[in-house]
């Protein structure tokens, strides 16, 4: 699904990502962990070309090498859903309008059909009853579930989650994780940046630990969490668990 080779990223003089190689297989759930500033969010944003990698790197999405300067990124992004830490819902649109905006104006779906799809997806994330509310009338957890629905409405093949529960009050984290677990069960290909180690243990097929822009360790969750091979992984885990 995703093949990354030799990905480097600089912000000015700061070398944020260093020679990243990463493969994500179809239906695989990959969880990326690491301290803040380690580059894990930047990596995720590079996959969706919200950040541009340095020259020389290669990102292959669904079997196609993407050249951000030549290829139509809008087409690539239609297959890759993204969920943000701060939800980024459109505040001037209702919940349903948020969800059907891209199907209507990007996929040019007719209104009736889009509405049907939108309501179905809202039902799936348990937000059907709030379809006509505005985002700011919802709790953070509800907003994030709508944001997931908005991304799903484009029927993406891959879903990227950038710290989806980091901005939530602790009691709201679970409702969002539940939706994500359901998605994983259905076989969605997912890349998740998170600090929720419980979620990583339970849902991830593979856990990747990033430190200072490098992939330090990767493996099955039990392996990474129970017997990490690297000292750095061990000390990071000791701090967060």
Partner 1 sequence: MVNIYQIFIQNITAFLEATVITLKLTSISLLLAMFIGLVIAFFKISKNRILYSIAQLYITVIRGTPLIVQLMFLYFGIIKIVVLPAFWAGTLALAIHAGAYIAEIFRGAIQSINPGQMEAARSLGMSRSLAMKRIIMPQAFKRAVPSLGNQFIIGLKDSSLVAYLGVPEIYGTALYEQASNFMPFETYMVAGMYYLVLVIIFTYLVSKLELKLDVEDGGRVS
State the CB neighbour count (10 A cutoff) for residue 54. 14
| Residues in 29-58 at the binding interface with partner 1, rule: CB under 8 A | 48, 50
As a whole number of angstroms, the distance between CA 83 and CA 193 comes to: 10
With beta carbons less than 8 A apart as the criterion, state whether 142 and 171 touch: no
Beta-carbon contacts of 128 under 8 Å, excluding residues fewer than 6 positions away, are: 119, 122
Does the footprint of partner 1 cover residue 167 (CB under 8 A)?
no
30: Cα within 13 Å, side-chain hemisphere: 24
| Residues in 56-115 at the binding interface with partner 1, rule: CB under 8 A | 73-75, 77-78, 80-82, 84, 86, 88-93, 101-102, 105-106
- For residue 78 the two structure tokens come to 């239609």
Look at residue 60 and give its three-state secondary structure. strand
Q: How far is the CB of 5 from partner 1 (least distance, A)?
A: 23
| Residues in 124-153 at the binding interface with partner 1, rule: CB under 8 A | 133-137, 147, 150-151
Contact residue for partner 1 among 2, 154, 183, 200 (CB under 8 A): 154
| Residues in 187-226 at the binding interface with partner 1, rule: CB under 8 A | none
What are the residues binding partner 1 (CB under 8 A)?
A: 48, 50, 73-75, 77-78, 80-82, 84, 86, 88-93, 101-102, 105-106, 133-137, 147, 150-151, 154
């Amino acid at each position: 699904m995703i093949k990354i080779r030799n990905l480097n990223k600089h912000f000015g003089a700061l070398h944020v990502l260093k020679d990243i190689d990463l493969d994500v297989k179809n239906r695989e759930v990959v969880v990326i962990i690491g301290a803040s500033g380690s580059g894990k969010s930047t990596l995720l944003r590079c996959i969706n070309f919200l950040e541009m990698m340095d020259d020389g790197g290669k990102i292959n999405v669904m079997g196609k090498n993407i050249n951000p300067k030549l290829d139509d990124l809008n087409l690539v992004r239609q297959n890759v859903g993204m969920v943000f830490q701060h939800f980024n819902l459109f505040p001037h649109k209702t919940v349903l309008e948020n969800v059907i905006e891209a199907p209507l104006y990007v996929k040019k779906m007719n209104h009736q059909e889009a509405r049907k799809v939108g309501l179905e997806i809202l039902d799936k994330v348990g937000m059907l009853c709030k379809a006509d509310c505005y985002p700011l009338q919802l709790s953070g957890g509800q907003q994030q579930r709508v944001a997931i629905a908005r991304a799903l409405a484009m029927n993406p093949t891959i879903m990227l989650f950038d710290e989806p529960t980091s901005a939530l009050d602790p009691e709201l984290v679970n409702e969002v994780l539940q939706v994500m677990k359901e998605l994983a069960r259905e076989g969605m290909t997912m890349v998740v940046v998170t600090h929720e180690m419980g979620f990583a243990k339970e849902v991830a097929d593979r856990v990747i630990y990033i430190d200072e822009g490098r992939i330090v360790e990767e493996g099955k969750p039990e392996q990474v969490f129970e017997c990490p091979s690297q000292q750095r992984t061990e000390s990071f885990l000791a701090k967060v668990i």
